Structure 1
Amino acid sequence: MARNFYEDEEIKPVEGQKIVNGVLVDSPQSVQSVFKSVRQSIYNVYSSSVDYVNSGYDKYHKTERSVTTTVSELHDKNEDLVPNGIYVIVGALSGTVMSRQRGILSKITFPVIMGLVSFKYFLPQTFNSTKNFVWKLEKKTVPEIAHQQENLYNKSSQLIDTIETTADKSSQSISSSIDSLRTNIKKYTGLNLDDEATKK
């Protein structure tokens, strides 16, 4: 029986060498460091990608939850959303039909105006809640524009009050003049304009 002279020999790898499945593999330190660096770079890119995707998903999930919560809070539970919401959509579509033969400005504004009017008519409480929410959001995000709108609204309200006051005074003045005229006619002619026989 032949004796294998190498069977009792223990292979001891030196630095830069490894035993893989009983085979001595020579791998210089420089090659190992390059592969280690490549592996680390790939792992870092993978880890960053996973973190980015998870972060994006978390932001999307938070935004979606915030939007659904806000919409739920804006909707008044006493108003039926299903038929009334359809009426609002039909109103906006009616604005689109009305603006078909008109210019580009009409094609933009008519559907919006008709949609808002329908929204206010069919879902009044939800409309008011939405209007207040948009106003608060506008004050928070674009305070300069909100301030200008507030000033314009106040001036418009003052103008409307002035017109109403002037109209009331004019109406009172005209009423007073008519009463005075009736009194004078009765005084000088003897005719009573308030009498039923005179009116016939």
Structure 2
Amino acid sequence: MQSDPPQQRKKLSIYPAPPEDILLLDTPSVLETHIGTVRRTLTGRYQEAHAHVQGLISRWIGVENRVEHRIKSLLPPDERLVPGVLYVAIAFLSGSVVARHRALPIRALLPPTLGIAAAVRFLPKTSSNVREYVGALEDHYTPEVARVHETGKAHSAMAWARVSESAAGARETVRGGVLAAVAQVQGATGLRLGEALGVARDMEEKAEKIVEEAVAQLEGAVDKGEKKA
């Protein structure tokens, strides 16, 4: 029987063997894991707070821009604001001084009344714009109050018309009484008072025209104020 060949031995190399690669695994500790989680959480909260603050600042800037635009729209370019505001402030303070020792309703109502009157007198266009803006706000937010105001304006106009009609009727009544008295005197004495009172009639007609023109101007001013309000 033939025996197996002897096992060949491995031939050694004359060169040194290359170093083997060592793989290192970076495994964080439990403390490092907790620190990383806390840091990421704080970073996220900071970014959320920063975004919230930036949103608030943007909204506030928008409000400032709207307020500035509204104020500029209320101030007419052809009306000087500085002296008018001073006059309004003086009227308000004067009302406070005058009503200092008065009753409580007078102390509460007199200063704003004088201030509003001064504003209407010295800042008519600005006051008109403010009234229109306040009326628009009433129509939008408080329509019931706006309807009450409109009803009050209508009643005021009706009362003014009745006063005007009453004044005209009283004037006609007085004129008729004067003419009747003149006729009676003429019939009893034979004096021509009608001719003697011709100049007086002319003066009366002129006075009536002046009164009618003044009443018409006053009515126009009231109607204009109601339309602006």
One-letter identity of the residue aligned with 1:12: L
One-letter identity of the residue aligned with 1:91: A
Question: Residue 47 of structure 2 corresponds to which residue in structure 1?
Answer: 47
One-letter identity of the residue aligned with 1:59: R
The answer for unaligned runs of 5 or more in structure 2 is 1-19, 201-229
Question: Residue 5 of structure 1 corresponds to which residue in structure 2?
Answer: none
Q: Distance in 2 between matches of 1:41 and 1:108?
A: 58
Identical-pair percentage:
21
1:83-162 pair list within 5 angstroms: 83-162=83-162
Q: 1:165 to 1:82 in 2, by over 3 A?
A: same
Deviation of 1:189 (Å): 2.1
Q: Distance in 2 between matches of 1:44 and 1:109?
A: 56
Deviation of 1:137 (Å): 1.4
Q: 1:9 to 1:168 in 2, by over 3 A?
A: same
Say whether residues 1:61 and 2:54 are aligned partners. no
Higher mean Cα deviation, 84-93 or 184-193?
A: 184-193
Question: Residue 71 of structure 1 corresponds to which residue in structure 2?
Answer: 71
Deviation of 1:112 (Å): 1.0
Question: Residue 24 of structure 2 corresponds to which residue in structure 1?
Answer: 12
Deviations 1:3-37 (A, max 9, x none): xxxxx9957236xx23xxxxxxx227xx73x5555
Structure whose CA Rg is larger: 2
Deviation of 1:40 (Å): 4.5
Deviations 1:61-87 (A, max 9, x none): 122212222221211222211122111
Q: 1:131 to 1:44 in 2, by over 3 A?
A: same
Higher mean Cα deviation, 119-128 or 38-47?
A: 38-47
Deviation of 1:190 (Å): 2.2
Q: 1:99 to 1:44 in 2, by over 3 A?
A: farther
Deviations 1:87-135 (A, max 9, x none): 1111111111112112333333222111111111111111111111111
Higher mean Cα deviation, 153-162 or 55-64?
A: 55-64
RMSD: 2.6
How many pairs align?
178
The answer for unaligned runs of 5 or more in structure 1 is 1-7, 19-25
TM-score, length of structure 1 as denominator length:
0.76
| Bigger RCO (CA 8 Å, 6+ sep) | 2
Higher mean Cα deviation, 35-44 or 89-98?
A: 35-44
